[in-house]
Amino acid sequence: MSLDFGPAVGLSCRECGTRYPLGPSFACLECFGPLEAAYSFGTVTRADIESGPSNIWRYRSLLPVPVDVASKPNMNPGWTKLVKAGNLGRALGLKSLYVKDDSGNPTHSFKDRVVAIAVEAARNFGFHTLSCSSTGNLAGAVTAAAARAGLEACVFIPANLEAAKIAMARVFGGKLIGIDGTYDEVNRFCSELIGDPLGDKWGFVNVNLRPYYAEGSKTLAYEIAEQLGWRLPEQIVIPIASGSQLTKIDKGFRELVQLGLVEDTPYKIFGAQAAGCSPVSTAYKAGHDVVQPVKPDTIAKSLAIGNPADGPYVLDIARRTGGAVEDVTDPEIVAAIKLLASTEGVFAETAGGVTVGVLKKLAESGRLDPEAETVVLNTGDGLKTLDAISDDAKPTAVIRPSLDAFRAAV
């Protein structure tokens, strides 16, 4: 098998640095640490990137994908809007605020970015089935991408997810297995399945394809910097599920600096969790560098990972950059969804409510610099988590079609 991962030349253990050849492996044989793609970048210019397609493949020279990636059937996610959020900024006292709105991706969440890279890895390794453990958004992204790429799909979710996420994961075909358990239990099951002959030709995007898959989150960093005019934001608020997205956005910013594509200016990274699943925030506040797992209980199901594998790295990054990790309650999440929607016309899912809620809390407590350029992420579409705002999912009034009745109602 001849592998083509573009600029990626191997895998490297994030803990001990041991190097491995490119392969469908995700844990270090020495210390169990996570493996990540290691690169030998060529010369990359802003002009090369700007002449690329209006999707993540404009950054193909920075990703573990072949150079002709854009010519193959894929969902072509990315290049989502960076919304200048003046109204929300004024409401929170922040002078220069942007919302990076990833609900505009093909299956309405940031997961299309990571899955697009995983599809290329699955093709490279000759896998016939694309799979994942998921809190919902990833399941939809995987079944859609598999359909488009001509791969089989079999995805695993906790059985009690939001109806819209289940419908989305199902409509694209393939198999959807609901497991009677938490996401962490689903994840554990998939990790065991991978070592079984039943699953050994399967590409689990967030398990054995994780080193490739996770790199997709870097494209959020690249896009934000390019959309700001090739500049790093001074402050950014990012949701934490497993913590992978936050760590890869940091990696993306550092790569842009290393390649001379942006100036080396300081940035602060803030992590956001729901109070009902806040192991990283708890560790941050306690000054710990290990993350004690929890059993989640929150409406923000897409962030309900009680055992976040990248949690220790999130702590490192928040502390290194001068950021923080904070959490908000379920009522604060709902209020933040409504605040974002009513100020900027962006309808976030509960995870976006967490991030905007934490943004608000950080702004009000003075931990964000009100003068600094700030970006907040919305990673998914509010239509997927309608139950969270069910009290408002009805008309403000129901009247007879008469002017008198209307005057009385308003």
Angle at 105 between CA 104 and CA 110, to 5 degrees: 105
Rounded (10°) CA dihedral 257, 261, 264, 270: -70
Q: How far is the CB of 299 from another protein (least distance, A)?
A: 16
Stretch that binds another protein, among 32-40, 61-69, 167-175, 373-381 (CB under 8 A): 32-40
- 302 binds another protein per the rule CB under 8 A: yes
Stretch that binds another protein, among 83-91, 159-167, 186-194, 355-363 (CB under 8 A): 186-194
- 29 binds another protein per the rule CB under 8 A: yes
Name which of residues 309 to 368 contact another protein (CB under 8 A).
Answer: 309-310, 312
Task: Choose between 88 and 190: whose C-beta lies nearer to another protein.
Answer: 190
Task: Choose between 24 and 89: whose C-beta lies nearer to another protein.
Answer: 24
Q: Residue 261: name the closest of 304, 231, 216, 305 by CA.
A: 231
Q: Return the amino acid letter for 101.
A: D
Q: Per-residue x/- mask for another protein, residues 269 to 298, rule CB under 8 A? A: ---------------------x-xx-x---
Residue 126: left if φ>0, alpha if ψ -120 to 50, beta else—which one? left
Name which of residues 205 to 244 contact another protein (CB under 8 A).
Answer: 205-207, 210, 213-214, 241-244
C-alpha distances (whole Å) from 234 to each of 228, 254, 265, 357, 375 are 11, 14, 8, 19, 8
Task: Choose between 58 and 251: whose C-beta lies nearer to another protein.
Answer: 251
SS3 177: strand
Q: Checking DSSP bridges between strand 129-133 and strand 96-101, what pairing results, if any?
A: unpaired
Task: Choose between 204 and 270: whose C-beta lies nearer to another protein.
Answer: 204
DSSP bridge partners of 145: none
Q: How far is the CB of 160 from another protein (least distance, A)?
A: 15
Stretch that binds another protein, among 3-11, 83-91, 166-174, 300-308 (CB under 8 A): 300-308
- 114 binds another protein per the rule CB under 8 A: yes
Task: Choose between 213 and 222: whose C-beta lies nearer to another protein.
Answer: 213
By CB under 8 A, name the one of 3, 31, 167, 405 that touches another protein: 31
DSSP bridge partners of 175: 154
- 378 binds another protein per the rule CB under 8 A: no
Stretch that binds another protein, among 26-34, 61-69, 260-268, 399-407 (CB under 8 A): 26-34
Q: How far is the CB of 338 from another protein (least distance, A)?
A: 25
Strands (E), 67-128: 81-84, 96-101
Residue 262 burial by Cβ neighbours in a 10 Å radius (0-12, 13-18, 19+) = buried
Task: Choose between 133 and 235: whose C-beta lies nearer to another protein.
Answer: 133
By CB under 8 A, name the one of 183, 222, 284, 347 that touches another protein: 183
Instruction: Tell me 33's DSSP state.
Output: P
Task: Choose between 89 and 243: whose C-beta lies nearer to another protein.
Answer: 243
Q: Per-residue x/- mask for another protein, residues 189 to 208, rule CB under 8 A? A: -xxx-xxx--------xxx-
Rounded (10°) CA dihedral 305, 272, 155, 159: 60
Q: How far is the CB of 304 from another protein (least distance, A)?
A: 8
399, two tokens:
């009247």
Residues 6 or more apart whose Cβ sits within 8 Å of residue 132: 138, 139, 142, 155, 156, 190, 204, 205, 206, 207
Q: Residue 138: name the closest of 210, 192, 56 by CA.
A: 210
- 135 binds another protein per the rule CB under 8 A: yes
Residue 21 backbone dihedrals phi, psi, to 5 degrees? -70, 160
Q: Which residues of the shown chain bind another protein in the complex (CB under 8 A)?
A: 15, 25-34, 114, 132-135, 138, 183-185, 187-188, 190-192, 194-196, 205-207, 210, 213-214, 241-244, 290, 292-293, 295, 302, 305, 307-310, 312
